[in-house]
Structure 1
Amino acid sequence: MGKRIVDVVAVLVVAIIAIAVSLWLTPMQSAEAVGQTVRVGAAAPSPSWSGPGEVDLFGQRLPTTIDFPGPVRPRLELTDLHLSTQLADLLGPDAPGSARAVAQHELRDALVSGWRDYLIVQTSIVVVVALLLMGAVAGWQRRRLRGSIVLVVIGVLVAAALNVGAVAATALSASDQLRGIDSLASLVGAAAITEPAPTVVPAAKAGSVVVIGDSTAAGIGNPPLPNPTPDDTVCERTSGSFASALGRAGDWSVTNLACSSATVGAGLLGEQKRGDTVLPPQLAAALKTGPSALIISVGANDAGWSHMVGVCAALPDCGGAASEAYFHQQLEAFARNYLVLLMRLRALPNPPTVIINQYYDPLPGKSDCVRDLGITEEKAKLLRGWLDSLNRVLAEGAAAASFRTAKPSFAGHGLCSPDPFVQGMDGNAPLHPTTAGGLAIALADQAVLIEAGVR
């Protein structure tokens, strides 16, 4: 009796180890969908018997909007996707019905096919690992040949059965569940944008550049514009913005539609309220002018960057679990909405040259001048890490959509330098670019515009 109990325990332990090892060793499987390759694998096992899978998007791991049965669920990698016009057909109700149906069908089939292939490879690895481990157990117990064969076969069969029960249930139901997905954005849980996508874009005007985005692009805290419009005043646009500097430094006609506190949803793709003024979506307003190039600065407000700086200054340890969780939650939400913005642009029949601005580091070098404000060198390093994560999302999304990026460098001109390119903590707009900082950003954009051949 005692020997049987030992055998049962050994078989179960081997099965668990074999499944765990297989999930670690099995490579993600590739499948063709919507004109590109998607990679399908398994998310980390969960103790619950149902829940979401994972979507890798721009370096962020996001839960799917679909709940799958079983403790092991699909993981879909979109990190290296290419946002083609064909893929833009998955955007949702604005896309043509027939094209959207074809794209949905391709995505569904790719996920199911990739998951099936992953299951076959993963199950094969389970069998091999279980075979080796049960053979070792039989040898350790010094069994006779027949007893060893029986024990090994039982162990392999149990491991395979447990694996199929834990993993295959998801594969068998994935097709039906995916039929509820009407867009790539809905798969990752992107917020619905109620404003309709532009359907007609005027022909591009030579030399016309439009800037859209947030307070960094608006240039807040610098000298006012000479003849501001009401919207300029409401949005805090200034003569120190990089848009103004770009207009002065190049041969382009530059229009600045950026607005302080803008996000992707409330500012770029949707209306933004500033006091009693309701501003139209910046992207739609920009496209109506027929720009030859569009420069976008967005993400800091979506990810709560200013809030994180305040948290770091106020708390003795701003790198705690709660702060990390908050920032990454905000960053994941931004990645979802950033996808919608990129796909809106890729869906345009004749999109302008698009440049995505990454954010500068306001504290390059030493941060001793802000130590009295509660930001130590350790905290500054943590803030840089969060900023790097935001810039990585911006860069990977731009690359996926085949857009260009510009990243200004404030090296030697950080907040604590003798000649800072950012406003001080007691300034009108702390850590935002000064007029000199706006010029540095403009020069980075100018280089990309010239490289892109924008005239």
Structure 2
Amino acid sequence: MSRRVRTALAALLAAVLGAVLVPGVARAATVNYVALGDSYSSGVGAGPYDLSTCLRSQKSYAPLWAAAHAVTSFKFPACGGAVTADVIGSQVNSLSTGTTLVTVTIGGNDAGFADVITSCRFGSTSSCENAVNDSRAFATTTLPGRLDNTYAAIRNRAPNARLVVLGYPRLFETGYCGLLAMSTYKRTILNQAADLLATVIADRARAAGATFVDARPFFAGHGVCAADPWINDVSGLIEAYHPDADGYRRGYLAALTAAIG
């Protein structure tokens, strides 16, 4: 072997060892990501959807984050309409000891999201108030225990994963929105209910040692009735009051990226 070849090999070996041993030079990390949750994780509102009944969209924040980070593996059992029992009963089956990252939005359907929205959009002011009050009572009494059980089930199946719990946005701006829109009062009490739900979810997430991601600041100014809304109104029955593609990318994805990179 010539001196020139030996010198080149020595230089190559030094470079390889340096990349492994020198502090600050990191190797690519293994990221096995599983996205759990309800319609706000599955991507309802963004479309187009897969062929399942879960209405999963590749425009949701989870597949967008996975694609941007070139993850090692990505599983997407999040499902429109899911409640905490669905996460515990079936979605956690996608987790394992090798899972390194879990995201989840859950709790809104447990607290009666669809019924509350329907009562407020199409019912009287009093029916809206009653529905909101029932939801608030549930959120402060029953929901905390359900969230605790859900996060514990995730931890049990994925003990080595970072758990990231994302909250829900306020759905509405409260300025003038036309004669056929929900009243300012209804929109205000719905936003207040969303604030309470965020407080409850954040508290239980932190108690479980999870990272809580507050979506509200990232959607501020882009609710229903905004000049540039990222939340669908009632133009589509299934997609009503869910983020659109901008909401998932510019709202949820931005919030997740700000929290974990």
Same fold by TM (over 0.5)? yes
Shift of 1:303: 0.4
RMSD in angstroms over aligned alpha carbons? Answer: 2.2
Which residue does the alignment assign to 1:136?
A: none
Shift of 1:392: 0.8
Shift of 1:394: 0.5
**Match for residue 243 of structure 2 among 410, 429, 433:** 433
| Cα distance change of structure 1 residues 367 and 256 upon mapping to structure 2, 3 Å threshold | farther
Shift of 1:254: 3.6
Shift of 1:256: 1.8
For residues 9-408 of structure 1, the aligned pairs below 5 Å read 206-224=30-48, 228=50, 230=51, 233-252=52-71, 253-265=73-85, 267-270=86-89, 281-285=90-94, 287-288=95-96, 290-313=98-121, 314-318=123-127, 320=129, 322-331=130-139, 332-347=141-156, 350-366=159-175, 368-369=177-178, 372-373=180-181, 375-408=182-215
**Matched residues, percent identical?**
23
Preserved CA contact (<8 Å) 2:172 2:225: yes
> Greater relative contact order: 1 or 2 (C-alpha under 8 angstroms, separation 6 or more)?
2
1:391 is matched by which residue type in structure 2? A
Which residue does the alignment assign to 1:275?
A: none
Whole-angstrom CA distance in 2 between matches of 1:302 and 1:223: 24
Whole-angstrom CA distance in 1 between matches of 2:160 and 2:124: 45
| Cα distance change of structure 1 residues 367 and 245 upon mapping to structure 2, 3 Å threshold | farther
Q: Which runs of 4+ in 1 moved over 4 A?
A: 346-349
Preserved CA contact (<8 Å) 2:84 2:147: yes
| Cα distance change of structure 1 residues 349 and 355 upon mapping to structure 2, 3 Å threshold | closer
Whole-angstrom CA distance in 1 between matches of 2:155 and 2:42: 25
Preserved CA contact (<8 Å) 1:217 1:297: yes
| Cα distance change of structure 1 residues 240 and 345 upon mapping to structure 2, 3 Å threshold | closer
Rg larger for: 1
| Cα distance change of structure 1 residues 329 and 365 upon mapping to structure 2, 3 Å threshold | closer
Shift of 1:368: 1.6
The Cα offsets for residues 73-122 of structure 1, whole Å up to 9 and x where unpaired, read as xxxxxxxxxxxxxxxxxxxxxxxxxxxxxxxxxxxxxxxxxxxxxxxxxx
Which structure dedicates a bigger proportion of its chain to strand? Answer: 1
TM-score scaled to structure 2, two decimals? 0.78
Secondary structure in 1 matching 2:188 = helix
Secondary structure in 2 matching 1:288 = coil
- Which runs of no fewer than 5 residues in structure 1 stay unpaired? 1-204, 271-280, 451-455
| Cα distance change of structure 1 residues 209 and 365 upon mapping to structure 2, 3 Å threshold | farther
1:350 is matched by which residue type in structure 2? P
Preserved CA contact (<8 Å) 1:223 1:238: yes
The Cα offsets for residues 372-403 of structure 1, whole Å up to 9 and x where unpaired, read as 14x21111110011111111110000111121
Whole-angstrom CA distance in 1 between matches of 2:66 and 2:176: 33
Whole-angstrom CA distance in 2 between matches of 1:414 and 1:365: 9
